[in-house]
């Protein structure tokens, strides 16, 4: 899997904390969360843990890795964890297709 924080650092990008835009995010693995193809950075571990306590309350729209459609996952959305990343799906059929061959549904241009 590509190291997202390393990629961001190499590009000299900077982000604000996802939950508190007044604070700069720390660009490293301990302050990063990936859901589907989206990546979220946080200023401290407390903000990261707050996000992880209920990610669906905070994440907004996600990209279904199978259909590539944007959707807002609800509490009953099919999901699984693959390669350390939590994935949510617009349908159970998409979850099953992903589970059968995760590599076929990787982020374009990225290695899983």
In whole angstroms, what is the distance from residue 97 CA to residue 49 CA? 30
Hey, where are the domains in the chain? 4-102
**What is the predicted pLDDT for the residue at 34?**
94
Give the residue among 110, 111, 69, 75 at the shortest CA–CA distance from 93: 69
pLDDT in tens, the chain (112 residues): 468 899 899 999 999 999 999 999 999 999 999 999 899 999 999 999 999 999 999 999 999 999 999 999 999 999 999 988 999 999 999 999 999 999 888 776 654 3
**What is the predicted pLDDT for the residue at 112?**
38
**What is the predicted pLDDT for the residue at 83?**
86
**What is the predicted pLDDT for the residue at 74?**
95
**What is the predicted pLDDT for the residue at 110?**
52
Whether the pTM exceeds 0.85: the reply is yes
**What is the predicted pLDDT for the residue at 1?**
43
CB atoms within 10 A of CB 57: 10
In whole angstroms, what is the distance from residue 24 CA to residue 13 CA? 11
């Amino acid at each position: 899997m590509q190291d997202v924080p390393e990629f961001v650092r190499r590009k000299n990008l900077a982000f604000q904390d996802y939950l508190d835009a007044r604070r700069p995010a720390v660009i490293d693995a301990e302050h990063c969360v990936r859901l589907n193809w989206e990546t979220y950075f946080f200023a401290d571990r407390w903000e990261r843990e707050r996000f992880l306590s209920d990610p669906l309350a905070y994440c907004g729209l996600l990209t279904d890795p199978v259909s590539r459609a944007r959707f807002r996952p609800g509490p009953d959305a099919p999901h699984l964890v693959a390669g350390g990343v939590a994935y949510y799906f617009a349908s159970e059929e998409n979850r099953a297709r992903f589970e059968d061959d995760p590599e076929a549904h990787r982020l374009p241009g990225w290695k899983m």
